[in-house]
Amino acid sequence: DQQVKQNSPSLSVQEGRISILNCDYTNSMFDYFLWYKKYPAEGPTFLISISSIKDKNEDGRFTVFLNKSAKHLSLHIVPSQPGDSAVYFCAASVFVNTDKLIFGTGTRLQVFP
Amino acid sequence: NAGVTQTPKFRVLKTGQSMTLLCAQDMNHEYMYWYRQDPGMGLRLIHYSVGEGTTAKGEVPDGYNVSRLKKQNFLLGLESAAPSQTSVYFCASRASAHYGYTFGSGTRLTVV
């Protein structure tokens, strides 16, 4: 039972345009969400997070939006750069049980010139 | 500042062989985790530890054992390797429950 789902395995975007990566979750107890970025042959690195008390969090070119009623979050990258090409994982945890994260299946983003 | 170090980086095992993957962190983190990454499956939690001397099962613990005898080390053992355990294994650590993970660079294991 996949509690965190990323339904798009891949996304291709032109440099300078917006990249939108989506993530859905089923567990209504999740209240802390994170995005990780992974390059080949490297471990995932933390990108941005959001608590359920917010609906938006911004860090430079990266913005995460949370829609709790739809159990949906999205990561916006504006403008997209070739160096953003990587696999992006969303992850979620339950505040009262924050000893582990549940990860989605990942979306491979390719930014082309 | 090494962060999280995994050894070995690559390994090929024959079915039935045993091996131990080592994860070491130098950040004095309390929490440590072992994940496996498989195509189309994302990162799945195998076992984790919330402190020295503690371990707990994750989503896919069968066929693996772990030990956290020292705070800085988290060992993942395969007693009798199976081809289904062919995967990339990632170790991660974090200071406390409200901080993001720091991941190691992974161990690519192939069981033939």
Nearest to B104 among A43, A93, A105 (CB): A43
**Of B86, B94, B91, the residue nearest B34 (C-alpha):** B91
Distance CA A63, CA A104 (A): 18
The A-side interface with B (CB below 8 A) comprises 4, 6, 9, 32, 34, 36, 41-46, 49, 89, 91, 93, 98-106
CB burial readout B91-109, b (16+ within 10 A) else e = bbbbeebeebbbbbebbeb
Q: Which two tokens stand for residue B90?
A: 């990632």
pLDDT at B1: 60
pLDDT at A2: 76
Whether the CA torsion B68, B93, A43, A104 is positive or negative: it is positive
First vs last Cα of chain A: how many Å apart? 38
Residues of chain B with confidence (pLDDT) below 70: 1, 97-99
Residue matched to tokens 């705070």? B71
pLDDT greater than 60 at residue A77: yes
| A26-64: pLDDT as tens digits | 999 898 899 999 999 899 999 999 999 999 999 999 999
> Cβ of A112: how many Cβ atoms within 10 Å?
10
- Alpha carbon of B64: minimum distance to chain A alpha carbons (Å): 18
What value does the mean pLDDT take over residues A71-98?
A: 90
| A4-20: pLDDT as tens digits | 999 999 999 999 999 99
Distance CA B103, CA A43 (A): 5
Question: Cα dist. A102→B27, B33, B88 in Å?
Answer: 23, 12, 17
Nearest to A46 among B40, B97, B101 (CB): B101
Mean pLDDT taken over chain A? 93
How do beta strands B10-13 and B107-111 pair? parallel
pLDDT greater than 60 at residue A96: no
